[in-house]
Chains A and B, each alone.
Chain A
């Protein structure tokens, strides 16, 4: 049984600018993996090269199947839920409509279990999603992604713009989804402390290349990671 997600020698460029110079990484079934790196390192591009929202070369294999030139909608249907940078909420639609969009490809959506992970959503059903607070929008994005019954959840900086307490709450829900539902998670973070606390393994990306990888504990005690991303 191979890994759930396997990238080998993935390269991507925006016009003349190369953003990834051969990234290889794996995510096993049921695992939480975090991807760290400074601004512009290529973290977002790595996620986009999986979800088919940027052109790339190299192999991306999901559960034994090569994704090739698959379109974003095909990758989503194959079981990858990508919560992009900025969350991709439909601001003009209601909370409930956003959730129904999450369940778009699912025949019998499990709204009840979303209810149990995100109980507050019930009271906000008819609120316009754009009027939710940043933390609530991040939670909505998570709930929406979860409704698509993904095998792999990809989160791009879920802590962006959130207060520390709210960030912790978001990661608590992510861990819960991972443990109870067995969803594998690939999470991009600037906030290395929170990300490594939730993850089993991690990778460090620097100018389009993986420079370091290991278990969360190894990374936490690594001097370079400590000085660059943990600040102690």
Chain B
């Protein structure tokens, strides 16, 4: 029983990371139908910036955390305006290719600026545990989960209760109609990229203490995030977060209780599962089936 709860908390903490990156993917996908393959590298790159701000990773500073969110936000918005916006009239595939180019560029740039070596990234949370009824609950896990979920909550409040958030939702649903109401959709798309980049930065800074900082740090995580987003239906922000949490828990449970599932098998198992779900429910767990007229 103790192992079960420990595995559960670690699973939720991993899952929060997958879920927040998945949410970032969904935000951009809903607004523009573009799958942003650079989402993981954007997160990695901003995590390096945080690392640099924290005196090359000597101690964690919350001010650096928030400064990084701001930088990520600005960088995401800037990328949208300079790279994605000019491709607005091209096909979606062109924009997707552009994000793949960004992936490669950011990866190379990070290795060039900061070297490809493993770096230590400090954690804001102590490595100790709370012991509740014989169960060891890692403060690191709880902290990670808490920070990520707090960010998701803030974002949800923004979309649900502010005029700007409403306009972003309306613009995603029907951009032409939104423009007729005076909505400057192009700016709102930049804002959306900014939010997605900031969310990615959160996941990057939260995962870096456990996986070490390298230019390739986010690549496997991005695949888990894709899986989570698709599981959730790709259109559903709630689905992305739930998908991420579910995937995190599941992977940790499999690793704990099913013996052949070693760390090498985690990714194949996750994607195998994704295939099974999609074969049964093509629209994902939270998605709507899109009926196309032929």
Contacts and interface: CB of A to CB of B under 8 A. Distances in A.
Contacts of A51: 180
A105 B181 contact: yes
Interface in A158-202: none
Contacts of A90: 170, 173-174, 177-178
B182 A73 contact: yes
A101 B179 contact: no
A91 B172 CA distance: 12
Interface string A139-155: 00000100010000000
Nearest to A78: B182
B133 to A, nearest CB: 43
A81 B176 CA distance: 13
A36 B181 CA distance: 25
Contact of A101 (B167, B176, B185): B167
A100 interface: yes
A110 interface: no
A148 B173 contact: no
A77 interface: yes
- Interface band, chain A: 20 to 34
Contacts of A53: 176, 179-180
Contact of A84 (B166, B180, B182): B180
Contacts of A56: none
A97 interface: yes
Interface string A82-121: 1010001111110001001110110000000000000000
A134 interface: no
A72 interface: yes
Interface in B121-175: 163, 166-167, 169-170, 173-174
B71 interface: no
A76 interface: yes
A54 to B, nearest CB: 11
A71 B169 CA distance: 20
Contacts of A97: 166, 169-170
29 contacts: A51-B180, A53-B176, A53-B180, A71-B179, A72-B176, A72-B180, A73-B179, A73-B180, A73-B182, A73-B184, A76-B182, A81-B180, A84-B176, A84-B177, A88-B174, A88-B176, A88-B180, A90-B177, A90-B178, A91-B173, A93-B169, A93-B170, A101-B181, A101-B183, A102-B181, A104-B167, A104-B181, A148-B181, A148-B182
Interface of B: 163, 166-167, 169-170, 173-174, 176-185
| 5 A-B pairs with least C-beta separation | A88-B177, A76-B182, A105-B182, A72-B179, A77-B182
Given A71-B179, A84-B176, A90-B178, 5 more contacts: A90-B173, A93-B166, A102-B181, A104-B163, A148-B182
